[in-house]
Amino acid sequence: MKVLVTGAAGFLGSHLCDRLLLEGHKVIGMDNFVTGRPENLAHLADNDDFTFVEHDVSEFIDVPGSSLDAIMHFASPASPNANSPYGYVNLPIQTMKAGGLGTLNCLGVARAYDAKFLLASTSEIYGDPQVHPQPESYWGHVNPIGERSVYDEAKRFAEALTLAYHRYHGIDTRIVRIFNTYGSRMRLDDGRAVPNFLKQALSGQPLTIYGDGSQTRSFCYVDDLIEGIYRLLLSDEHQPVNIGNPSEMSILALAETINQLLENPLEFVFFPDKRGEGDPERRRPDITRAQEILGWNPTIDLDDGLTRTLPYFQENL
């Protein structure tokens, strides 16, 4: 296939480009570098099957060439951390434009080329959930005007728009709801838990815990996530599918794991009042549909995934 990947220079987008090229596809990567990094794609500079276009997806998209088989829309800020310059709280307009206008433009391209369309959605559409774990049938518990709404509502709109194009125009669509993921090529100053803790532990600093650390997340290694997304692309499923690791743990337990892995003798510093507005208490995917439809399960546990991630952070600190 010939595949357009938006957000190609981002953490997930760059790994997705690698997987598509490995499978023998031709890839057009697109990014405007608001949060993506050129370094994430530098290794593809001499790959004849890869073409890069610097472009903002909220503007009209002109695809090089006369054919296109699939579009995978991954362009968006994704970090909820208000202390990071790359968090969507600090990029509110860009975030909503990527989710709204960007999705609209990508769907227009899919319609013009009769191409498949895969939307990268998020577990954030469930908000601070009142159902646990979260199945795709759960409609969510979201504040539509809170700080996080610029991301939550952009993705909820993007899902609605995607299925509208599927139902009205017959576009061959897919929607993946991505839960917390980690691995190489994350920004060290991203502000999310894994990069923040790894950076602090490698620097011999105490780990900063927002709140009391009892809030939970489910951490999926990037290779597992990309495998699930690739299987979804090749499937015939049009309804949203959760992809994430159902192994749930507290943020404090994650910090303890990283300190043990790096033999960091320092403990933690707690900031009770620094949890962001609307920060979910619990987050865990119900992956029954991914198991049944895609035959997918995560295979890499946290210790193994962190060990694989560590060299990247050591080299880039």
> Over the stretch 107-135, which tens digit does the pLDDT of each residue have?
999 999 999 999 999 999 999 999 999 99
User: Would 42 be classed as within a structural domain?
Assistant: yes
Residue 198 lies in a domain: no
Asked whether residue 117 is assigned to any structural domain, the reply reads: yes
Output the six-digit token pair for 49. Answer: 């099957």
Q: What is the number of structural domains in the chain?
A: 1
Please list the pLDDT of the chain residue by residue as tens digits (317 residues).
999 999 999 999 999 999 999 999 999 999 999 999 999 999 999 999 999 999 999 999 999 888 999 999 999 999 888 778 888 999 999 999 999 999 999 999 999 999 999 999 999 999 999 999 999 999 999 999 999 999 999 999 999 999 999 999 999 999 999 999 999 999 988 889 999 999 999 999 999 999 899 999 999 999 999 999 999 999 999 999 999 999 999 999 999 999 999 999 888 999 887 777 778 899 999 999 999 999 999 999 999 999 999 999 999 98
Within-domain flag for 209: no
Task: Report if residue 269 sits inside a domain.
Answer: no
* Residue 213 belongs to some domain of the structure: no
| Rg from Cα positions in the chain | 19
Q: What is the CATH number of the domain that holds 75?
A: 3.40.50.720
In a domain, 315, yes or no: no
The whole domain housing 122 covers 2-185+219-245+285-299
CA distances (Å), 137 to each of 69, 104, 198, 236, 242, in order?
29, 24, 35, 18, 10
Residue 214 belongs to a domain: no
- Which residues are identified as catalytic? 151
pLDDT tens by residue, 177-197: 999 999 999 998 888 999 999
The strand pairing partners of 269, in sequence order, are 208
